[in-house]
């Protein structure tokens, strides 16, 4: 799905540069038609620049004085050009290339390092095609409804589903507010329909709005990704999964579990934890069941390295459907 993102991003940069050059040509044609004196000054500046370069290379007598004189002429002409542009209602940089990103001049790189705008374009491409982009239109904090959770304390649980979700939501907001500085990971577990995926998406939406790169994968999709990374050498996929700001793994334990998937999941989980790359895991399985599904080493990391949040109560999807039909 995302194997060709790098080439697509470079194509976008090329299109941006071509667009900037075409736009400049149109502006120059406009000024040539409306204020030809400005273009005459532009040509004079160009000729002086050539003469200045020649004199600097020749190194003849009185070169310093000549260079200083030509530099002064160029400065005077530039000032005159700016005054004419501003006087006719144009900006001073109207006849300069105008990039979308002035840091990298729409190349994607500053020296040998990727420009911050590269990540922004990667985000745009990823979310344009992701399931997450569609889900977050509905699954966000503005649609969170506490009334779907009962205030009645359940047997064998320390508090009511309503009080429990209020406490979990408080942890979720702490996770969001401290995201940039905290190594915390979250694991939501409990029965189906208790709000785990919904709250995961709410957190994802909030972090995306704050400029973080969030990747959403179901456990089945993640298992498929491991095969692509291992057998197709999909390094772009591996880089995104390992280095995204937050990886949301939904429905853990619902995938087809094999020796291969268990080994790959442990290795991946271990890499993420060692890098301090954050995760949010949601599962319909209880903690004991998770320990049975995965290896002891995997269970140890899931239960020991994540903040555990237990969801319980009636299926809120059913409750919501009943309310809407009343």
**Crossing angle for the helix pair 235-243 and 259-275, nearest 10 degrees?**
50
Predicted pLDDT at 59:
62
Distances (CA, A) of 227 to 1, 240, 254, 295: 13, 15, 17, 19
Q: Could you read off the pLDDT of 150-171 as tens digits, one per residue? A: 999 988 899 999 999 999 999 9
Task: Note whether 38 and 85 are within 8 A (CB).
Answer: yes
Phi and psi for 233 in degrees, rounded to 5?
55, 45
Q: Which of 105-114, 133-142, 205-214, 273-282 has the lowest mean pLDDT?
A: 133-142
Q: In what order do the strands lie in the sheet with 307-311?
A: 214-218, 246-250, 278-283, 186-190, 307-311
Percent of all residues in the chain with a pLDDT value above 70, rounded to a whole number = 92
Strands (E), 159-227: 186-190, 214-218
pLDDT for 288? 93
pLDDT at 1 over 90: no
**Contact between 188 and 199 (Cβ < 8 Å):** yes
Residues 6+ apart with CB under 8 A from 91: 85
Angle at 272 between CA 266 and CA 273, to 5 degrees: 90
* Predicted pLDDT at 129: 58
Decide: 222 and 267 in contact? Cβ < 8 Å: no
Which tops the pLDDT comparison, 142 or 171? 171
pTM summary value: 0.68
232: tokens are 């197709």
Share of the chain above pLDDT 90, in %: 59
Q: What is the pLDDT of residue 8?
A: 84
Map out the domains of the chain as residue ranges: 5-110, 130-325
Question: Which long-range contacts (C-beta less than 8 Å, at least 24 apart) are formed by 138-144?
Answer: 139/197, 139/198, 139/201, 139/202, 139/205, 140/201, 140/202, 140/205, 140/206, 141/202, 141/205, 141/206, 144/169, 144/198, 144/199, 144/202
Question: Residue 139 has which token pair?
Answer: 């699954």
Residue 324 has pLDDT above 60, yes or no: no
Considering the domain 130-325, what is its CATH architecture?
A: 3-Layer(aba) Sandwich (3.40)
- Tell me what the mean pLDDT of segment 187-201 comes to: 94
What confidence score (pLDDT) does residue 325 get?
54
CA distance 67 to 280: 64
Provide φ and ψ at 216, rounded to 5°.
Answer: -110, 125
Checking if the pLDDT of 70 tops 90, the result is: no
d(CA 35, CA 84): 8
Least confident of 19-28, 124-133, 219-228: 124-133
Give the chain's mean pLDDT.
88
**pLDDT tens digits for 2-42?**
445 778 888 999 999 999 999 999 999 999 999 999 889 98
Select from 269, 168, 277 the least CA-distant residue to 215.
Answer: 277
Residue 319 has pLDDT above 70, yes or no: no
68-88 burial string, b = 16+ CB within 10 Å, else e?
eebeeebeebeeebbeebeee
Max Cα distance, the chain (Å)? 99
pLDDT at position 186, please? 98
Mean pLDDT, residues 188-210 taken together: 92
What is the Cα–Cα distance from 235 to 80, expressed in whole angstroms?
54
């Amino acid at each position: 799905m995302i194997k060709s993102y790098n080439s697509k991003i470079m194509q976008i940069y090329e299109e941006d540069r071509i667009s900037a050059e075409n736009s400049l040509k149109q502006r120059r044609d406009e000024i040539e038609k409306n204020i030809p004196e400005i273009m005459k000054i532009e040509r004079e500046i160009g000729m002086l620049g050539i003469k200045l370069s020649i004199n600097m290379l020749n190194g003849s007598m009185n070169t310093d004085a000549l260079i200083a004189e030509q530099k002064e002429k160029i400065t005077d002409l530039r000032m005159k050009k700016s005054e004419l542009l501003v006087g006719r209602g144009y900006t001073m940089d109207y006849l300069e290339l105008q990039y979308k990103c002035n840091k990298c001049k729409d190349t994607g790189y500053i020296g040998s390092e990727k420009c911050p705008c590269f990540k922004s374009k990667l985000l745009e491409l990823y979310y344009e095609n992701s399931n997450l982009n569609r889900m977050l239109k509905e699954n966000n904090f503005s649609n969170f409804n506490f009334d779907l959770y009962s205030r009645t304390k359940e047997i064998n649980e320390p508090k009511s589903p309503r009080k429990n979700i209020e406490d979990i939501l408080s942890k979720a907001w702490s996770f969001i507010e401290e995201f940039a500085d905290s190594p915390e990971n979250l694991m939501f577990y409990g029965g189906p329909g208790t709000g785990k995926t919904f709250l995961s998406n709410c957190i994802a939406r909030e972090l995306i709005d704050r400029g973080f790169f969030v990747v959403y994968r179901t456990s089945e999709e993640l298992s498929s990704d491991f095969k692509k990374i291992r057998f197709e050498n999909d390094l772009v996929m591996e880089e995104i999964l390992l280095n995204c700001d937050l990886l949301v793994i939904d429905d853990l334990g619902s995938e087809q579990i094999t020796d291969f998937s268990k080994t790959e999941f442990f290795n991946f989980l271990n890499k993420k934890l060692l890098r301090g790359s954050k995760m949010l895991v949601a599962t319909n399985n209880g903690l004991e069941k998770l320990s049975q599904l995965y290896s002891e080493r995997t269970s140890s990391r899931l239960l020991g390295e994540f903040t555990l949040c237990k969801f319980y109560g009636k299926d809120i999807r059913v409750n919501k459907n009943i309310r809407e039909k009343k």
